[in-house]
Structures are given as structure tokens and as C-alpha cells.
Structure 1
Amino acid sequence: MSTPELLQRPDGQSIAYHHSAGESAGVIFCSGFMSDMEGTKAIALEAAMQGIGRSYTRFDYLGHGQSTGNFTDGCISRWTDDALAVLDNCTAGPQVIVGSSMGGWIGLRMALLRPDRVAGFVGIAAAPDFTLRMRADMSDEAKADIERQGYWEEPTEYSDEPYTITRKLLDDGDRNLVMQGDIPFDGPVHLLQGMKDDSVPWETALQIQEKLTSTDVDVTLVKDGDHRLSEQDDINRLFIAVETVCAKVSR
């Protein structure tokens, strides 16, 4: 694990990131909920982009990975602000956002908030508005914990430690919803989605495609694909999708 650069935030926190200079359109990788920039897809995509001389940036949100701060202080608004700070301060020119799971939600928010900078989008099991489903699926016990102490510890197969779901995260999610109407983004998009994903229903990719105003949206459904989409065949699909979107942006 190489030492990252640090981007100082106004509240004294630091966002850890790695940036490789290269040609535009550049690529920014937005990781998922309680994931980080050292994941399989982020690292593999970095090697591929460096190999073809394309600009590439990966980073950790507040309370994730090598960035400072507490995870429980984060929410969609804050993590989107972190991503925008990286976009604004660490990259130049048009960028293609690659968003994995929660990173797909954040990537779509970036596209809406920086239409002059975000030129394309690739989603990997993109999970916009996932806090709505999270709240709806909560047990009575979980809801009671949220009311009593402001958080609930959710067991997960993706980590030995439970996910800490806070009232702040759920309430803030309602202020960042993107699937309630059209998503006004007209750049090229490719959505990769596993059909055996037990975290994000595969139909979500089709719903995102319908909401986007762009007429250039490809959806790849992987019949045996899970939520991670980290097998070598999945990584190969990711490389092709990202470079195809980048080529469209660069035309």
C-alpha cells in the first residue's frame, strides 16, 4: 500500500487520494459504503489506466480507508462533498466517474452538481437512493435502536465488523435522492450489474437507464454476477466499459 496524498478539508479533516497524471478524459473511482480505494476494482482499474496513459484518481471518503474522521460522522452529502473536492482540486478537464455501489449514487450526484466537469459515468452495481430500501427493510428492533441511540449495527457478509447505520445517514439520504424523477445527465453511460446481487436488485440498473435523460446508456447484466463484480471476467468488462465511455467523451 503506497502512501497517499492528502487533501485538506475546511473542517480540518484530510481526504486520502492517489492521482496518476495522463490524458483526458480522466477517470475518478468512487468506492462503495464502508469500502475504500484499495479494493480490487479500484487498483485493477488504476493499473489499466496507467498502462494506456489515461489520468486516474482514486480516494477515500471521510471515515473510510486512509482518510481521517469517523465513519459515523459521514452521510451522502458529506461524502459527495469529499468527491467533489477531489474532482475540483486534484483533477483537470473532463472526467468519467466510475461509481461502485454507493459510489454510483455519489457519482450521479457529482454529475448533477458538476455538469461542466463530469462527462461520462460507469456504474458497478450502482445503488442510488439505497437508504430508502435500507429503511424499508429494517426490522422493528433495528428501528427501535435508531430511535433510542441514533444508530443500528447491521451484520454484513462483506466485513467482520457490522455496518453502523445512523439516523443521520438515513435522514440525509432523503435530501440526496436522484431516482424520484428524471436524472438530467446526457453524457455516455455504461451500467454493469450482477443478476445474483443480493444487495442491489438487478432491476435497479434498468431503472437508472430509464431515469437518465441520456440517449447513450448501455446496460450489461451479468447472469452469474454478484454484488462485488470482482472476478477477472468482471474486471475485463469494467476495463472495456470505462475505455469505451472515455473514448466517446474524447471524440
Structure 2
Amino acid sequence: MELLCKPIGKIKSPFKNKFAVPRQAGLIKEIHSKITFNKSYQPSLSLQGLEGFSHVWILWGFHLNNSDNFKAKVSPPRFEGKKQGVFATRSPHRPNPIAMSVVELVDIGPDHIWVKGADLVDKTPILDIKPYIPEYDSIPDARSGWLELVRESIDEVNISMNCKTKFDDYFERIDAQKDFINSDQLIGFLSNLIKEDPRPMQSRDSSKENVKEDFVLDIYNFELFFHIKDRMAEIRDFKLKRGPRAS
């Protein structure tokens, strides 16, 4: 038997590609995202009753995966190259590329909802949403398996003085007004993203030659340039993109 899943909508997110997207929902709580539903699912009716819930589950598809090859064991990015069974991880490379995230429900419109804390790339297809019910979904004494051995990878994130001044000067032109009230909040958010260590595994072994240390994050309407070596990071510059600001 085969199951056919049709997207019910898409999400609008500040993350323009997979690099540096939070590894789990809720890690970076400041992010606002908008889920717009297809008209065929009558959102003005199908969203009725959701307003009483503070959080929702989002089921969504890993639409940017470009490999159909199944691997029974994978290397989680933060587990120093050690492999685990794919069903013991939340790797996007799985038999059915389906993910789920718990997010805070902020607002409900006629054909959309606003949420906070999502870990989705812009334009990700949404397969379903369900209310989060603490009585059933919260398990305070649950264990975290091999994740209990994982620690933060970046000890400190600094920002150059020139870049800090530039953020202060250009903040009004950055398309992040819904999430942050000033440049200090935005810089704190970016620092937390980098502290989660978005580097691919091959860029983390400093003993190898020609290891990549400079990275670019495509987010909101700008590109962020930062440097990571060992467990230290520095935000060095950013560049606004051309074109109209997103609505």
C-alpha cells in the first residue's frame, strides 16, 4: 500500500537555504514564520478552534533532499563523525522525507497562521498541522539517548566593531523588523545561530589541511559573512541583497 501526501500549504521563513537552519524547532525562539494554506483546504473553516492552543505540531517535507539512496546508518552533524541508525536520528535522509516540529502559535488569519521558533527553510511544503496537547505530548522524564553525550560546538561568537557599526546603521533596511526591535537583538540571534555550529562535518576537523573556515549565511534580505576556527567564531560582515523588501 502506498500513501500519497499532498501539501496543504507552504511556509515563509527567513532561511533561504538549509545552511544554518536551527537543528531543532524552538532552539531559536525569536523567528516568526508564516504558513499560508491552499484555498482548497478551506482554511477559514479548517483553522476554527485552533485559537485556543498555544503551540502546534507541523508535519512537513524535506523538499531539498537530492538523494534517493537509503542509508541505514548516518553521521549526525554534532556527533563527531560517529554513526547512528537513521531511526535513532532526525536526519533528513530517511525512507520517507517527513519531519515534524513543535512551534508556538502566534496568530491566525483567514488563510494563514503565524508561528515562532520554526526550523524550516523558506517555501517548505507543509503536510499537516495538529494542536500540541501538553497532557499527551509532554514527557518530562523522557531520555535523550546518544544526544546526552553531545555538547555545544562553539564556545564564543564575537563580532567585529566595523560589522557592529554597520548593523546599527543599516538596521532599518534589514527585513527583520517583525522579529527584532534593534540591531543588538538581531546580532544576538545571529550569534546563537552560529553557536549551534552550522558547519558540515568535513569543516570541523582542524587537523586537516585546507579546512574551510569562512562561511556565508543567506537569511532575511542579507548575507552574513563569518569565520569559525576550532571552537571560536567571528561575525565579520554582511551585505544587503538587491531588490524590494519582503512583505
**TM-score, normalised to structure 1's length?**
0.28
Which structure would you say has the larger RCO, counting Cα contacts within 8 Å and 6 or more residues apart? 2
Q: Which has the larger radius of gyration?
A: 2
More helix by share: 1
